[in-house]
Amino acid sequence: MTHETELHLPSAVLFFGPGQPAPTSAAAAFSPVAESLAAALADLPNGELHVITVNGTALQVGFWDTPMQNRTLFGDLATSPLRDRVESSIVDGQAFASVAVVEGDIRPALTLLSQICGTILEDTSADAIWLPEQSLVTTEAMFMHDLYEDQIERTWFRVHALRVGGDSPDAVAFTRGLRVLGTHELQIRVPGEPAELFTMLTEAVATCLRQERRLEPGAEIVLGATTYRAVPGEDLVDEGVAILDLVPAGDSAGAPQEPRKKKGWFSRR
């Protein structure tokens, strides 16, 4: 059976993998969050969606007692560095629950969404999570790490880092999830290692979010010891995504334009 359910942004899907007892209803899946929430979902049939307001934020929630079949999910799973650790939970899983923001102030809504996901991951047998707007499929441990470290802003976005193909020494890092906050995604291409670029851009963006700085054209952001300026650019990975390229602050002309490349130019490392 195929579940191509439209997910409102921002949203999350939590997976209950094989091997451990899984909830059998929405009420059971969401009961660790609050007894009142479980009570409100007591009569919700599996496979249906329900909108409920929690702390001023309207949420759409649902529960399915089958594996999820979704093309976008499988695309994100295929490129996930943690594919080997989450694939079984998704492909052979017993059930999944979805939660999505329908209406509310975005920063409190994102905080609430992350807290709900963290509670379910910590207190149930859910062991994997998909954040569609971040193109991220990850494990319970990886998601919970940022919550345990009081870095909730890091759960609002994801940095993906790639090695440029061929003989180029360059790596590319780009964000996904910032559009939910009403800003552009960021992208940077520089010589170096993808892992190092991933860490630097993640820390820099998280700092900007904590400081409630808007990431817009002309904004400056520090990566390592270098200051970069955000300028309108062209997404090197996906089409139709509004991108700000990060170029050295002294480069007023911006980054040199690359010829259009087809998908497959990059290889994940």
State both tokens at 145.
């790490």
Domain ranges of the chain: 11-149, 158-267
Contact between residue 37 and residue 136 where contact means Cβ atoms under 8 Å apart: no
Q: What sign results for the dihedral spanned by CA atoms 91, 94, 99, 100?
A: positive
Other residues' Cβ atoms within 10 Å of the Cβ of residue 240: 5
Nearest to residue 38, comparing CAs of 54, 57, 55, 21?
A: 54
- Rounded CA separation 148/24 (Å): 28
Q: Which amino acid appears at position 237 of this protein? A: V
Nearest to residue 127, comparing CAs of 203, 54, 20?
A: 20
One digit per residue, pLDDT tens: the chain, 269 residues? 334 444 436 899 999 999 899 999 999 999 999 999 999 999 999 999 999 999 999 999 999 999 999 999 999 999 999 999 999 999 999 999 999 999 989 999 999 999 999 999 999 999 999 999 999 999 999 999 999 999 999 999 999 999 887 788 899 999 999 999 988 999 999 999 999 999 999 999 999 999 999 899 999 999 988 999 999 998 888 777 889 999 999 754 444 444 444 333 333 43
